[in-house]
A and B are shown apart, each in its own frame.
Chain A
Amino acid sequence: MTAIAAATVASTLAACGGGDDGSSSSAEGGGENEASDIGVTEDSIKLGAHYPLTGVAAPGYSEIPTGVQAYFDCLNKEGGVYGRDIEFIFKDDAYNPSQTSQVTNELVLEEEIFAMMSGLGTPTHSAVVDFLNDEGVPDLFVSSGSLLWGENPEEYPMSFGWQTDYLSEGKIIGEYIANEFPDAKVGLFLQDDDFGQDGEEGIRQYLDDQIVAAERYVPGNTNVGPQIAALQAAGADFVVGFNVPSYTALSQLTALQLGYDPQWFYSNVGSDPNLVGGLLNRFSEGKVSDAALLDGALTTGYLPTVDMTDNPWIQEFSRIWDECGGEGELSNYRVYGMSQAYTMTQALQAAGQNPTREGLVEAVEAVGAEWEGPVFAPFRYSEDSHLGTSGMTIERIVGNGSEEVQPVRTTDIGDAPIEEFDKEPATPPANGIPDEEAYEG
């Protein structure tokens, strides 16, 4: 009885933000579940997220929360985390920052979520990152490769990235091209924002002297003729695109019109063959029916994709989708959502039986770098970095799938070297549910 009372006091202190890490003591076997912080009850934990479910950005991205939901549904059937069900609430922001701000207010102030997870988009999430950190809400695994969430934990102590940041991706691409295509004249096709800038900075670290042109497009302007023509005129025979999927389709169609046929390399964001194939079909009004144009293009990967049917993670996620998912097929976006939900489950397990917001963030910082999962390479979480995974493969697109041409290599931002990653890929645990120990502090 006194032990429980003491634990309650400790967790109340921690909940107030000023407490030490006393709450994790109650995580030792046999303790009872308590409502240890906002959004946590004896039998549930509330998580929230924002995605574009309507509007121009909805195709593809709106599938991510269905993947997250399916994973949590299956997890809850197996007993959840410490006997608590995960309640996942996601809201539509239509990729509009003012709406992101509104729905985040709703999630934090009205729904009283324990933590935000997987909030999608750089401009959208920028609008709420200050608010979440001011309110002390853990802001885990933002669905964007911007450096903003992870580069400077002192500024945003509650925010964590998840996917490979665009700078590291650029470095890995740059090194690959410098090694494998030393004579290529490289042209860059970049989205004119941090996405393109970070990617360019990374690439230029390795093949600055091979680059003959760097062309930028402004999202929203659908005519990329001038940029593609400029790349052609500069004599580029190898084009690297840091662009979103719709501009992959536009650049392909424009190059087709201009009779321009370089080796293409699209960064991970813009390379989903299914989505690009659909877009090509739509933009060309049926003249190009699938992603055949993309055949032979190179891209990067940090997660298994649905075409890898013999990958054990994909098999496990297929099972989860069949048992707990809704309509439709398992897609790469759903795999992405499930993988994030998997990491989130690891984080909640590590936060202990009676998690607090502070405790959750401390646990991710302390042990997050050791977690294994569907992501190819480990996360970089520590007290000094909240950046997500850093490793990527290089893949060649074949049909609607891809084949690996370079195994996983890892790096970090700044002038960190690129290293081979030689660990065996992790295999999924039973039922696809991780089993992390509680972090004791």
Chain B
Amino acid sequence: MKSMPRWVDLFLIPAINVFLAFLVAGLVVMFIGEDPLHAMRIMIQGSLGSDYGIGYTLFYTTSFIFTGLCVAVAFHASIFNIGGEGQAGVAGIGVAIVALTLDQTHWLLVLPLAVLGAGLFGAAWAAVPAYLNAKRGSHIVITTIMFNYIAAALLIYVLNTYLKVPGSMAPESRRFAGGAHIPRLDQMAEWIGLELTRTPANISLFLALLACLLVWLLIWRTRFGYELRAFGFSEPAAVYAGMAPFRIIMITMLISGALAGMMAINVVLGELQRLNLDSVQGAGFVGIAVALMGRSHPVGVILAALLFGVLYQGGAELAFEIPAIPSQMILTIQALVILFTGSLENMVRFPMERLFLFLRLRKEAR
């Protein structure tokens, strides 16, 4: 028997947890000697107060949707994929190869092939840990962490050895030519006669929203999605029902890795227009917070990604306005969100369960 109504589980508890995380963050700001409400106003003003701010917020949001989905899909199968960072980094190589080869053509050709390249490279980087987990029983969390570091080394090697501009010291590829420039949101707004400030937000935002829809369809409307959730709920039960764990783990991780890889479209193709060493910049890890906060549901992921987009853009403005609050504030908030919505979740859940049990018992006693 369910001890709590559905809405408590789905909305009230996450809301309380996020509130607690921000409460603690506010206390930290107070401890530093600044006014948390003033800081919050600057953040919201900086991220949502102008089309410039909104553009950057949406740019970050796009990346976080992809990495959030990456973690969320795996969560449904009870797999914790911490490797989004490495998968996105390696996917950048795939994007760069496509873009560097075809940047004399047209973005309509480059974009779908780059999506393919990012997906393939991201999935490939997730495939090894997945295989080792499914076939040899290695712990996937540890393996994906290790693969993050291996990816970083690989990226340095590839950039230094193959993609670096000859004669240049900087470990980055040459800039993609015009044929590989995908439309930015401000350019797209121009098509319908709107004028927006130039920001890196680009067409991949729509890809991200499409990915959310596809993930929703996959998990709740397909046979494989059912297997994936069954496996995540109880592996023995799934095996007993005739499902093959190897297949589920492999496909789930491939999809997860490909989703993480998609963020390279947004950053490498959309913003940097070259491959450099730190194109991911921790977005893979933000995905963990986004998935936890969004309860691994695509709609939740969009909302959580938007919140983190606001935090990142607002945090950058905040660091500019109040130098006493450096951008590491965002990292702290991210940690608190992971802490309260992830590992300390039961701090709210246990008392809630008791409360609703008490309420029900009293009702029945009447």
A, B in one complex: no
A positions within 8 Å CB-CB of B:
none
B positions within 8 Å CB-CB of A:
none
